[in-house]
């Protein structure tokens, strides 16, 4: 298969840059990044150097790299495939202030420049990477990024979330404006909370993060509209999907068939 190396800014979140290498034989000298970076090896094996420590990494391994860390990662035999995300350091520092409950003067590093393998982490990374590629997935991408990063930092404080009137207000706002793509910051302001606390408390109260919950509510409403004979195009537009492709992607993820197939079956 032909070698591919892609580098682009996320269409969903401008704070994130994305690299995807497939069947790549490229080797890198020791270097460092200004951003927080983390990535997943999709195929092959590599020798990973970070702070003079070597790691043997392979398919399904997640690696994390702090800003300024000197590192190198090169394939052991021939070619490998991997995906990397580079996240703006200032954005991460603001997130860490929310997670820790206080304003930080500087960012905190990843708890360790570590390598780990976990089917759950791989699944979450795949979902995050997918969201980041789509311009119409901003809310889901931000939610997935915050949820992925927050547990990876040292010295964060966690408090048990409790259902509050603020969470109820955010929930009401989502339902009242079901067809709108409401920014996470606006939901947090409505709840009187920061983004991280909103995500934790909303998920405890309703079982899902706000934008995932909103998409599910849209699909539930879409099923009713389709049963009533509403066209696919009008249903997608009414419920705030960017286009029919966007609508179909989310519908099929949850119902396992396309909206047209569902309507025909009904």
Separation CA 259–CA 38 (nearest Å): 36
User: In this predicted model, what pLDDT tens digit does every residue of 107-145 receive, in sequence order?
Assistant: 888 876 567 888 899 999 999 999 999 988 899 999 999
Query: Which residue reads 């269409």 in tokens?
Result: 11
CA distances from 93 to 11, 85, 90, 196 (A): 22, 16, 5, 13
Of 97, 113, 94, residue with least CA distance to 37: 113
Q: Does 16 score more than 90 pLDDT?
A: yes
Name the average pLDDT for the chain.
86
Say which residues have a Cβ less than 8 Å from residue 123's Cβ, sequence separation at least 6.
none
Percent of the chain with pLDDT over 90: 48
Q: Between residues 52 and 163, which one has the greater pLDDT?
A: 52
Separation CA 49–CA 69 (nearest Å): 10
Q: Between residues 17 and 74, which one has the greater pLDDT?
A: 17
> pTM score, two decimals?
0.72
């Amino acid at each position: 298969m032909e070698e591919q190396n892609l580098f682009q800014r996320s269409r969903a979140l401008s704070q994130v840059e994305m690299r995807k290498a497939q069947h790549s034989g490229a080797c890198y000298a020791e270097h460092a990044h200004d951003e927080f970076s983390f990535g997943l090896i999709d195929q092959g094996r590599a020798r990973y150097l970070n702070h003079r420590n070597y790691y043997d990494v392979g398919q399904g391994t997640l690696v994390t790299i702090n800003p300024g860390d000197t590192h190198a990662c090169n394939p052991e035999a021939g070619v490998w495939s991997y995906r990397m995300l580079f996240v703006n350091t200032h954005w991460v520092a603001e997130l860490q202030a929310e997670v820790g409950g206080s304003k930080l003067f500087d960012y905190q590093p990843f708890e360790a420049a570590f390598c780990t393998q976990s089917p759950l982490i791989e699944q979450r990374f795949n979902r995050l990477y997918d969201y980041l590629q789509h311009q119409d997935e901003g809310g889901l991408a931000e939610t997935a990024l915050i949820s992925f990063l927050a547990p990876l930092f040292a010295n964060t404080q966690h408090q048990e979330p409790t259902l509050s009137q603020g969470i109820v207000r955010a929930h009401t706002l989502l339902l009242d404006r079901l067809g709108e793509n409401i920014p996470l910051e606006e939901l947090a302001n409505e709840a009187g909370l920061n983004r991280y606390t909103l995500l934790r408390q909303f998920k405890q109260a309703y079982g899902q993060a706000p934008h995932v919950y909103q998409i599910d509510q849209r699909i539930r409403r879409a099923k009713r509209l389709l049963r009533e004979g509403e066209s696919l195009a009008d249903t997608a537009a009414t419920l705030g999907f960017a286009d029919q492709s966007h609508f179909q992607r989310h519908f099929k993820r949850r119902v396992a068939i396309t909206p047209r197939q569902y309507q025909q079956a009904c």
